[in-house]
Amino acid sequence: MRKISIGLAALGVAASLTLAACSSGTPAASGTAGGTASSGEKPYIAIVSKGFQHQFWQAVKKGAEQQAAKDGVTITFEGPATEAEVEAQMNMLTAALAKKPAALGFAALDSKAAAPVLQQFKDANIPVVAFDSGVDSDIPVTTAATDNKAAAGEAAKHMCELIGGAGTVGVMVHDQTSRTGQDRRDGFLDGMKANCPSVKVLDPQYGKGDPNVSADIASSIIEANPDLKGIFLANEGTAIGGIKATKEKNMVGKIVLIGFDSGKDQIDAINDGTMAGAITQNPVGIGEQVVAAAVKTLHGETVPKVIDTGYYWYDKTNINDAKIQAVLYQ
């Protein structure tokens, strides 16, 4: 506790004072520093996410809160209402800066747009821990993220096996512009090319992650392609739409659905056989890693440039394993 206060004080005053303050720091001294936190208070880490209402982000938040409790720091966790609201996220970032946190956890909706504000964090000596998707800049001390490309490649491998290497496969993604959308799409397409080049992969369709819109699109794909063997669904909202459409069109068991992330609909669909399997990230782990990395940095420890938070393939056979259950959310 005391150690952290000292570290904080150093951060707060680093711009004007020498690091000598670090060695001579006392709790009293830390109280006068910067305005970051008054004496005895826990260091504060601001986390600006890509969203907060989606189950995935709620799981990240949960992990972050668990780790914060363990490390004795306070956090705030916020994100814009939809993943299209780049500007809203910028406003949250500036607001976070004004609160002078000890560190920032940040998942960029648009990493280029965020660059100038991140520079301000750097100038104020507030360390930045990126998560979920990378930031095109060397400001973050580390990036805690799923390797989405590799994860989607894994999904492609399973798709190839399950459809027997022939036929037509649809691809539905939440959007064209986000890093996760692009990585999962490209990872899947590359994976299909590598594992079963003879399968015809349709142009990716985008449903904004809206289950209702995605269901309409999936219905159209099913109608348009009588030889459809499978659909890859790149996030939870998209997956819900794909599952509903498959049921509505009475195609359960006739097409292979492979999803991404978790949530009740996907878990139920895997259990009842509508969905063959899905890739899950480790959202709770991401949250934990963000806070842990931030705390380590505050302590002056070095952290690796990239923290791979991992992913898992889960299907009917392993869905009840403790390891999988730990990272799934309902």
Looking at residue 307, its amino acid is: I
Site for other proteins (CB under 8 A): which residue of 5, 30, 55, 133?
Answer: 55
Binding mask 243-262 for other proteins (x = CB under 8 A): -x--xxxx------------
C-alpha angle 30/34/35, rounded to 5°? 90
Site for other proteins (CB under 8 A): which residue of 97, 155, 217, 327?
Answer: 217
Of 13-21, 25-33, 205-213, 289-297, which part binds other proteins (CB under 8 A)? 205-213
99 in contact with other proteins (CB under 8 A): no
C-alpha angle 315/319/324, rounded to 5°? 115
Residues 6+ apart with CB under 8 A from 239: 233, 257, 259, 260, 261, 263, 265, 266, 269, 275, 278
Site for other proteins (CB under 8 A): which residue of 94, 119, 177, 212?
Answer: 212
Cβ atoms within 10 Å, residue 151: 23
Instruction: Report d(CA 62, CA 91) in Å as an integer.
Output: 23
Closest approach of other proteins to the CB of residue 308, in Å: 28
Binding mask 165-204 for other proteins (x = CB under 8 A): -----------x-------------------------xxx
219 in contact with other proteins (CB under 8 A): yes
Of 14-22, 37-45, 51-59, 192-200, which part binds other proteins (CB under 8 A)? 51-59
Scored b (16 or more CB within 10 A) or e, 253-281 reads eebbbbbbbbbebbbebbeeebbbbbbbb
Please say which residue, 83 or 154, places its beta carbon nearer to other proteins. Answer: 83
54 in contact with other proteins (CB under 8 A): yes
Site for other proteins (CB under 8 A): which residue of 147, 216, 308, 315?
Answer: 216
Instruction: Report d(CA 170, CA 156) in Å as an integer.
Output: 11
Residue 35 backbone class (left: φ over 0; alpha: ψ -120 to 50; beta: rest) = left
Residue numbers of the site for other proteins (CB under 8 A)? 51-55, 58, 81-82, 176, 202-206, 208, 210-212, 215-217, 219-221, 223-224, 226, 237, 240, 244, 247-250, 263-265, 268
